[in-house]
Structure 1
Amino acid sequence: MTPRPSTPSRRALLRAMAALPASALVLGELPGLLGTAAAAAPASGSATRYTIVPFLNSNDGTVNVYQSDDATDFRLLRASAYTPAAGRIRDASVLRHTDGYYYLTYTTHTWQDVSTTIGFARSFDRVNWTFLYDYPVPITNLSRAWAPEWFVDSDGSVHVIVSCSTADNEWIFTPYALKATDSDLTAWSSPVALSGIGSNHIDTYIVRIGSTYHAFTKNETAKYIEYGTASSLTGPYTISRTGDWAGWGSYREGPSVIQLDNGGWRIFFDGYGDGSYYYSDSYDTFATWTAPKALPGISGTARHFTVVKETVSGGASITRNATRSFQSANYPSRYWAEQSALLNLPVVSGSSATADKQAATFTVVAGLADANGYSFRDASGNYLRHYNFRARFDANDGTTTFAKDATFIARVGSATGSVRFESYNYPGYYLRHYNYQLRVDVSDGTDLFRQDSSFVPVTAWG
């Protein structure tokens, strides 16, 4: 990637200051709050929607709004959707509240300036935002209040986790919790420090699973995102993972964690050290993580954000227990067809041989790993699955791995009536044609990829 000019990172200042003398959601419990949904593929007639509201690498005075149906391929919904009348907007965290509105809270000043307030704005549709107020965080000798993050507890209480420093040591941050004391989110309790996390931690993001609070927090001294747990929101937390424990590397900040449709967990973080934005997934409740990947399309443009996940109406659906053929959206003379147990994309027409038409006909059934997903059988009863990323047909061996390999989540395609099929166990990977062969590849965020991975269910050839 070619380096681009950018707004100076607050972390650049912190790195410089280090050489000088020293002078947050409950997932799966409250549908709609922070967009949380159950860990399952969206049911017929509904779709998953992820929304982010990042400030820009080139401008910390405004935010864009992006949305995605898979938490990987984010597309611009509105540029410069909200620009405060005064101050800046950095580190915006977004919440879907019980009143139906979306709320932003954000850092109100750039890193050069004293910043003792956090900002609030509201929107009904995610694209038209109204400024609400700047809230003075009531901490004695406060110097900076940065990176406020929403957190909703299991009792429905709404909190903001904010990183604060005082004038006697303005570059040493401590996370504090503020609790909303009214349903309008205009009054707040006194700040309470999160105990156990320790000083010089910033960008603390909280996830609650069952009775355990999980904290992801940036150690500003070591430059790594650390991890700890507690039995209450304010602690004490035990930090159990330090250094490069997850393989994400150093100079990472702004973690945000959400649950995917397949039950896995995804963390997003700002790779401010190299100018990229990353994601990484865990399937063992945060013990291990996949190698980080740069977010397609917005890496290098978007900065520090959190994610709202919602289940909304619409989406893609296909009739189950019916035979269908699948036509390429951008090569309409070509269809899925089984050839030597592999799925290819040959030309099929009314003059094709009967055997070729039968090879292009499949039975759509409920997903083996998730009934809201889809699996596909050939005439012999073998299932479409990915193996070494190639799409092929094999007999169901009854294993969990096979069931996941053979399950796909339907997403809306690039053309009217078309569908994209996302791998259930490789989120962000789609069935797509390449050299007229079908494989699962990770989305690169381009229109061409969306077209190559879009197929129209049509009347069966066979």
Structure 2
Amino acid sequence: MSRVLARLGAATVAACLLFATWSAATPKQAAAIDPTVGYLMAHFTGESSTGQQIYLAHSTDGLRWKDLHNGGLVLRSTVGTRGVRDPALVRSPGGDRYWIIATDLCISCGQDWSTAINNGSRNLVVWESTDLVNWSTPWLLNVASGIPDGRNAWAPEAIWNPATGDYVLYWATNVPLNGATKHRIYYARTTDFRSITTPQPYVTRPGSQEIIDTQIVEAPAGVGAYRYVRASGDGQLTIEGSNAILGTWTTIGNLSGIGLTGAQVEGPMWMRFNARNEWVLYLDQYASGRGYLPVLTTNPSSPASYRLPAAGSYDMGANRKRHGSILNLTAAEQNRVLARWRDTAINRIQSYNLQDRYVRHANYDVRVDPSVSPVQDGQWRLVPGLTGSGTVSIQSVNFPGYYLRSYGFDFRLEADDGTATFAADATFRQVAGLASASWTSFQSYHHPDRYIRHYSYLLRLDPVPDAQSRADATFRVTG
């Protein structure tokens, strides 16, 4: 009897633990979110190891965008292929948690399109945050291995489903048909983006027609005939409507009425304007390489209401923006985001003992020159050090994401590769000038007995044992 009671007790404890674990993972019920005042876009920029990472842009009106963090990347994938595309921003219904989910793909940095299509990563990359500015280390979420003959997992999106009390996570997977590529949209349900239900087909086009990009927007009661509208890239831009995320979807039309036909656009990205019933459907003009185009509508489920913007009414910012997503920001969220990813001042770095010369990069080498041309080659941002701890890193203005980095005690302009070694090589302590306390010297974080100095006009990382080397290692940071 005592053994039976012990087993019953253990079972009760286990059940309680299981319930507690599920309760902790289950998102809060929808809460009243504060009024939204701004917009945050997550995106990638192009086919390179630095372009296929997470970038952010901000807008106050939804049409004019400013790149955050000096235009540099804000999150780098350190898992899977070590590159990410097609990021989606997800806010919990309670407004207390956020996720970024993205395609695990890095074209032209160890992987080509054929491999990515036919034997690509079956994972998505996920980050989690409680405040939109401090993000977890990324993890891989395997979504496509459970799909028979599934070859990859691309372009993820997620939407909270009030009917089931969890998220519908959906993405594209290539399941070949008669030996030819055929991407279809699959979905699974999740509460935490760490585990999912068995993937199921979600959107499939007839015959050999593929579909890769799709994104759903929710419309309020009284606007249009459907509660949910989705835009999909399937050889054209198809608009469909439904009153349930996992219900029956009806084809409404396309955008041929405004001249967007065939394969001109992809990467649909919805945004509802704050405080009014008007929407933007951003479309990536990939065929012409012109980036995102906003298409406006007051009724997402009526293709006849879609219209092109007036000339000069929008500005996508300096960075090229590829397939991403937009989150409407509350005032508190916006304040946190802008404080964390604000721009830093543009400076020049003047030599102390050769005062007509300034630090500049040229063909990724670094030197001191007079009359720097183009002027941007001699402009820098002193940003918080890549290793933190009250340090600085020196970022190029015209090559965002590229930093002064010591390599074998020489200096190069290189892209941050996300490694601890790079961070240490590109981090310095800004101290009083070694030749004049009113100027500045830069002590190496990685080699604290060495400083940035010029020698024969080239920048080096050297010890400074004498007056000449100390003068060579003294600079003025000017506006």
TM-score, normalization by structure 2: 0.51
Contact 1:195 1:235 (C-alpha < 8 Å) held by counterparts? no
Q: Establish whether residue 95 from structure 1 lines up as the match of residue 107 from structure 2.
A: no
Aligned: 1:119 with 2:125: yes
- Specify the code of the residue in structure 2 equivalent to 1:290: R
TM-superposed CA distance for 1:110, in Å, is: 3.6
Q: How does 1:288-307 map to 2 (within 5 A)?
A: 288-292=305-309, 295-298=314-317, 301-307=320-326
| Greater RCO structure (CA 8 Å; 6+ sep) | 1
Q: Does the alignment pair 1:178 with 2:198?
A: no
CA distance in 2 between counterparts of 1:157 and 1:58 reads 34
How many correspondences in the alignment?
272
1:96–1:103 contact (8 Å) kept in structure 2: yes
The answer to whether the aligner puts 1:164 opposite 2:173 as a matched pair is yes
| Cα distance in 1 between the residues matched to 2:181 and 2:280 | 29
User: Which position in structure 2 is the counterpart of 1:50?
Assistant: 39
8 Å CA contact 1:248–1:291 kept in 2: the answer is no
Give the corresponding residue for 1:254.
267
The one of 289, 293, 299 equivalent to 1:278 is: 293
Shift of 1:207: 2.1
How far apart are the structure 2 equivalents of 1:108 and 1:314? 27
* Distance apart, 1:239 and its partner CA: 1.9
Correspondence for 2:249 = 237
The structure that is helix-richer by fraction is 2
Deviations 1:345-365, CA, capped at 9 Å, x for gaps: xxxxxxxxxxxxxxxxxxxxx
Identity of aligned residues (%): 18
Structure 1 equivalent of residue 201 of structure 2: 193
Partner amino acid, structure 1, of 2:141? Y
Distance 1:75 1:160 in 2: 29
- The Cα shift of 1:146 comes to 0.6
Equivalent residue number for residue 469 of structure 2 = none
C-alpha RMSD of the superposition: 2.9
1:234 to 1:246, Cα distance in 2 relative to 1, 3 A? farther
Length-normalised TM-score, structure 1: 0.53
Deviations 1:423-456 (A, max 9, x none): xxxxxxxxxxxxxxxxxxxxxxxxxxxxxxxxxx
* Structure 1: stretches of 5+ with no match in the other structure: 1-28, 317-462
The question of whether the paired residues in 1 share the 8 Å contact of 2:67 and 2:318 is answered with no
Give the residue type in structure 1 aligned to 2:254.
T
Distance 1:195 1:226 in 2: 12
Specify which of 202, 220, 230 is matched with residue 215 of structure 1: 230
- CA 1:170–1:152 in 2, change beyond 3 Å: closer, same or farther? farther
Letter in 1 for 2:214: T
Q: In the aligned structure 2, how far is the partner of 1:118 from the partner of 1:267?
A: 24
Letter in 1 for 2:166: S
Q: Contact between 1:252 and 1:273, CA under 8 Å: does it hold in 2?
A: yes
Q: Is the 8 Å Cα contact of residues 121 and 131 (structure 1) preserved in structure 2?
A: yes
- Aligned residue number for residue 74 of structure 2: 81
In structure 2, runs of 5+ residues without a counterpart are 1-28, 108-112, 336-479
Deviations 1:295-344 (A, max 9, x none): 5143761111111112224999xxxxxxxxxxxxxxxxxxxxxxxxxxxx
The answer as to whether partners of 1:196 and 1:237 remain within 8 angstroms in 2 is: no
Paired residue secondary structure (1:177):
strand
Structure 1 residue 65 corresponds to structure 2 residue 56:
yes
Match of 2:10 in 1: none
Distance, in Å, in 2 between the alignment partners of 1:299 and 1:273 is 20
Whole-angstrom CA distance in 1 between matches of 2:287 and 2:31: 35
CA contact (8 A) 1:176 1:193 kept: yes
2:280 is matched by which residue type in structure 1?
Answer: R
Counterpart of 2:102 in structure 1: which amino acid? Y
Secondary structure at the aligned position of 1:81 is classed as coil
What are the superposed Cα offsets for residues 212-259 of structure 1, whole Å, 9 maximum, x if unpaired?
33221001xx3x211112343234322231362444354211112122
Letter in 2 for 1:89: V
SS in 1 for 2:141: strand
- Residues 297 and 206 of structure 1: CA distance in aligned 2, closer, same or farther (over 3 Å): closer
- Larger gyration radius, structure 1 or structure 2: 2
CA 277–263 in structure 1, closer or farther in 2 if over 3 Å, else same: same
SS, match of residue 53 in structure 2: strand
Alignment partner, residue 140 of structure 2? 134
Tell me what 2:153 maps to: 145
2 CA distance for matches of 1:147 and 1:314? 25
Distance 1:130 1:315 in 2: 20
More strand by share: 1
User: How far does residue 105 in structure 1 lie from its aligned partner after superposition?
Assistant: 0.7
